[in-house]
Amino acid sequence: MSDVASLDSVLSDPETDGRRRRAQDSRGRIVEAMVALTQAGHIPVSAEMVAERAGVGLRTVFRHFSDMDSLYREMSLTIETQFIQGLSEPLTGDTWQERLRELIGRRITNFETVTPFKRAEAAYRHRSRFLQSDVQRMNTWLRDALIWVLPEAICNDASRFEVLDLLLSFESWDRLRRDQALSPEQARKALERAVDTLLA
């Protein structure tokens, strides 16, 4: 039997396929456990907590993820994908002002969803070069989306644009919601008023 034929027989072996499926299932449950614990407000999440929630041994966690840094990053990428999907639908407003208001609304909706994960990310990212890179990539994506909506004159007005980028960041939203204890509707009205004042 040739080496190629031998390899094919191993790859198609039911026992091998079963092990692969079990490994994929374990990995998926570990990531789901990490997401669920973070969403419940646990900061930080320990490997022991993940193992217990996923119903696997601690060794299994570290067989799939070399350390908690890599597990945090896996969660970050999962949430990032969901976040971008929630903001990627074409805007429907006829004017740039209408499209900007629509973009703000979408950001707010998605910020509310990802708040627990962004807070966990902020608490952990000083220890993780991977998370720092992920945060920078997401901020760049949000900034580019804002540039796409705004007229060139505003984008070229550096002082106004930078303040607008700050106002529409997650950090601004989180301060309104957590530190200033505003409801989502109150925070939205405050944010929209600040944006309107800046662009007047």
Q: How far apart are CA 49 and CA 104, in angstroms?
A: 36
Question: Are the CB atoms for 130 and 138 separated by under 8 Å?
Answer: no
Q: Which residue among 65, 81, 109 closes a domain?
A: 65
In this structure, the answer to whether residues 150 and 86 fall within a common structural domain is: yes
In this structure, the answer to whether residues 37 and 118 fall within a common structural domain is: no
Q: What is the pLDDT, as a whole number, of residue 91?
A: 92
Q: How many domains does the chain have?
A: 2
Helices 96-124, 14-39: inter-axial angle, 10-degree rounding: 100
In this structure, the answer to whether residues 43 and 129 fall within a common structural domain is: no
In this structure, the answer to whether residues 168 and 118 fall within a common structural domain is: yes
- Domain extent for 59: 1-65
| Distance linking the first and last C-alpha atoms of the chain | 77
Q: Which of helix, strand or coil describes residue 176? A: helix
pLDDT means per 10 residues, the chain with 200 residues, are 54 64 87 92 90 94 90 85 83 95 94 90 83 88 95 96 97 96 97 96
Q: What is the pLDDT, as a whole number, of residue 20?
A: 78
Q: How far apart are CA 122 and CA 38, in angstroms?
A: 12
Q: How far apart are CA 64 and CA 147, in angstroms?
A: 39
In this structure, the answer to whether residues 22 and 111 fall within a common structural domain is: no
In this structure, the answer to whether residues 4 and 76 fall within a common structural domain is: no
125 CB contacts (<8 Å, ≥6 apart)?
Answer: 131, 132, 134, 135
33 CB contacts (<8 Å, ≥6 apart)?
Answer: 49, 50, 51, 53, 54
Hey, CA dihedral for 151, 153, 155, 161, is it positive or negative?
Answer: negative
Q: Which residue among 18, 33, 65 closes a domain?
A: 65
Burial group, residue 168, by CB count within 10 angstroms (0-12, 13-18, 19+): buried
In this structure, the answer to whether residues 183 and 160 fall within a common structural domain is: yes
Q: Which residue among 65, 86, 119 closes a domain?
A: 65
In this structure, the answer to whether residues 19 and 37 fall within a common structural domain is: yes
In this structure, the answer to whether residues 54 and 82 fall within a common structural domain is: no
Q: What is the pLDDT, as a whole number, of residue 190?
A: 97
Q: What is the pLDDT, as a whole number, of residue 98?
A: 96
In this structure, the answer to whether residues 77 and 143 fall within a common structural domain is: yes
Q: What is the pLDDT, as a whole number, of residue 53?
A: 96
